[in-house]
Structure 1
Amino acid sequence: MASLKEVRNRIQSVSSTQQITKAMKMVAAAKLRRAQDNIIRMRPYAQRLNTILANLTRNADDDIVSDFGVAREVHKVLVIAVTSDRGLAGAFNSNVFKGVNALIAGRYANLPATSISVMAIGKKAHDYYTRKGNIVGNYTHVFAKLSFETVREAAEVAMDGFRAGTYDEVVMVFNEFRNVATQIIRTEQLLPLVQIEAPAGAALTANVDYLFEPSKEDIVQTLIPQSIKIQLYKAVLESNASEHGARMTAMDKATDNAGELLKELKLTYNRTRQAAITTEILEIVGGAEALAAG
């Protein structure tokens, strides 16, 4: 049985850990509120942009074709893995790795490993895929000051690579935010835009009569790149909100577990103390009887 000093030290250690997890939960909750507001504001904009783009492309002339809508036989792939910069968020990051591995083992099983590149957004993904090799760029700075400008750089690299023929497909893997306790791994094709569909719940309008200035082709060619960048930015915002939700949940469970462990340790401490007192009493009684007998 552990000594009283050892049990006291463990109680102090677990109490300190519990205070840290409580503080981390509160910090995650504050950050989650801001991240949730950002993604809630972004979703209607992204949805409306995709609806307009879907209407335009459906009513566009056949000769208006975007470079990003050309489907090719897939020989080279870019997978964009969106994780966090820090851990202590439960299975948040590992689920992304599992999603990427499942995508490669399933959809791209016939391609050699050298034909699949990974763009890691977030330090955890960068560290993980750097060890595996074939990584594109360094985007560990994105979450330090998250904005559209910081994400646009990554989107433009992917778009330029697709347009140049370096990649035949670009796919995103990220956590979609549902609520504090629920994050869902999503795999979405970013390029090529073979057929642009309106989001769920957004109706397409047949034969929309738009007035184009300067021209229909210029408008479509401008909206498509913008839409691609917005899609990636939205995925990063979803991941950011999911990260804080996952960390808040993980720290809440860690705090509860620390509380349960403290109860067990205090019970062990009381039992150990009681046993020590009983032993001392028995020694005193034994010594007294020995003196009396002598």
Structure 2
Amino acid sequence: MASLKEVRNRIVSVSSTQQITKAMKMVAAAKLRRAQDNIIQMRPYAQKLGEMLATVSAGSESGADSPFSKVRPVERVLMVLITSDRGLCGAFNTNVIKAAVQHIETNYPVLASRGQVEVLAIGKRGAEGMARRGYKVNSTYQDIFTRLSFVGVKEAAEMIMNAYEAGQYDRVDLVFNEFKNVATQIIRTEQFLPISSEPAVGQAVVNTSYTYEPTEAEIINELIPKSLKIKLYRGVLESNASEHGARMTAMDKATENAQELLKELKLVYNRTRQAAITKEILEIVGGAEALV
């Protein structure tokens, strides 16, 4: 049985850990509120922009002529993986990494074996996880969450678009956590490039005749890059909100576990203390009897 000093030290240690997890939960809750507001405001804009592009592109040859609509034989693939920079958020990062690996092994096993699948990591945990699994990782934009803004995400989107237009990649897929609520994040794997001619789920397409000003081609060529940048930015905002929700849930669970452990340790402490007292009483009684 552990000594009273050992049990006391463990109680102090667990109490300190519990205070830390409580503080981290409060910080995550404050960050979550801001992140949740950002993604809630972004979703209608992103959805409406997608609907506008799908509606204007329906039956139009200008959209098909865009370099971002060109479908080529898939020889080189870029996986854009959005994770977090820090841990202590449960299985948040692990689930995204597993989903990306499974997607590669299911859809591009031959290309992966040839080293023709590259990963663009947004978030340090994703870069570390995919590098450990032997994938070639581009970590240029892994610090986006340090100062999260549209400008930083825009630069990453432009790099991806330029690389695709130059023929460096024939397919670009996006993997991220979509925010549903504090306790639930949904893994999403979406085709980023080439842009699909089919409307996304929930997007309405209205077949209407339009008069274009300046021209149909100019409007579509302006909408497509903007839509791609917004799509990536939305994925980053979804992941950011999901991260804080996952961390808040993980820290709440850790605080509850610490409380349960404290109860057990205090029970052990009381039992050990009672045993020590009983032993002392027996020694006193035994000594008194020996003197009789």
Fold conserved between structures, TM > 0.5: yes
Structure 2 gap ranges (5+): none
| 8 A contact 2:122–2:139 mirrored in 1 | no
Aligned partner of 1:170 in structure 2 is 172
CA distance in 1, matches of 2:115, 2:216: 40
| 8 A contact 2:97–2:130 mirrored in 1 | no
Q: What pairs with 1:138-153 in structure 2 (closer than 5 Å)?
A: 138-153=140-155
Q: TM-score, normalised by structure 1?
A: 0.95
Give 1:110 deviation, angstroms: 2.5
- Structure 1 residues 279 and 208: CA distance shift in structure 2, 3 A: farther
Aligned partner of 2:241 in structure 1 is 241
Task: Name the stretch that deviates more: 44-53 or 191-200.
Answer: 191-200
Give 1:123 deviation, angstroms: 1.2
CA distance in 2, matches of 1:63, 1:89: 41
- Structure 1 residues 113 and 273: CA distance shift in structure 2, 3 A: farther
Q: Secondary structure at the match of 1:222?
A: helix
> Could you list the runs of 4 or more consecutive aligned residues of structure 1 that deviate by over 4 angstroms after TM superposition?
none
- Structure 1 residues 87 and 228: CA distance shift in structure 2, 3 A: same
| 8 A contact 2:28–2:244 mirrored in 1 | yes
CA distance in 2, matches of 1:137, 1:124: 11
Q: TM-score, normalised by structure 2?
A: 0.96
- Structure 1 residues 62 and 128: CA distance shift in structure 2, 3 A: closer
Aligned partner of 2:119 in structure 1 is 118
| 8 A contact 1:59–1:207 mirrored in 2 | no
| 8 A contact 2:63–2:69 mirrored in 1 | no
Matched, 1:255 2:255: yes
Give 1:203 deviation, angstroms: 2.4
Give 1:145 deviation, angstroms: 1.1
Could you say what the CA RMSD is over the residues aligned between the two structures, in angstroms? 1.4
Give 1:130 deviation, angstroms: 3.6
1:198-241 CA-to-partner distances (Å, cap 9, x unmatched) read 541x42211242x4222110110111011011111100000000
| 8 A contact 1:123–1:139 mirrored in 2 | no
Give 1:154 deviation, angstroms: 1.1
Give 1:113 deviation, angstroms: 4.3
1:50-109 CA-to-partner distances (Å, cap 9, x unmatched) read 001001111424686110001111111000010001000000000011001101110112
Q: Secondary structure at the match of 1:140?
A: coil
- Structure 1 residues 242 and 113: CA distance shift in structure 2, 3 A: farther
CA distance in 2, matches of 1:206, 1:89: 45
Matched, 1:102 2:102: yes
Name the amino acid aligned to 1:127.
E
Give 1:140 deviation, angstroms: 2.5
- Structure 1 residues 63 and 28: CA distance shift in structure 2, 3 A: closer
Q: Secondary structure at the match of 2:37?
A: helix
Name the amino acid aligned to 2:122.
I
Q: Secondary structure at the match of 1:78?
A: strand
- Structure 1 residues 214 and 4: CA distance shift in structure 2, 3 A: same
Aligned partner of 1:30 in structure 2 is 30
- Structure 1 residues 98 and 133: CA distance shift in structure 2, 3 A: closer
CA distance in 1, matches of 2:39, 2:156: 19
Give 1:133 deviation, angstroms: 4.5
CA distance in 2, matches of 1:237, 1:266: 43
Name the amino acid aligned to 1:12.
V
Q: What pairs with 1:85-100 in structure 2 (closer than 5 Å)?
A: 85-100=85-100
Matched, 1:195 2:162: no
Q: Secondary structure at the match of 1:139?
A: coil
Q: What pairs with 1:40-51 in structure 2 (closer than 5 Å)?
A: 40-51=40-51
Name the amino acid aligned to 2:6.
E
Aligned partner of 2:290 in structure 1 is 290
Name the amino acid aligned to 1:164.
A
Q: Secondary structure at the match of 2:68?
A: helix
CA distance in 1, matches of 2:147, 2:63: 41
Q: What pairs with 1:146-161 in structure 2 (closer than 5 Å)?
A: 146-161=148-163
Give 1:168 deviation, angstroms: 0.6
| 8 A contact 2:80–2:172 mirrored in 1 | yes
Percent of paired sites with the same residue:
60
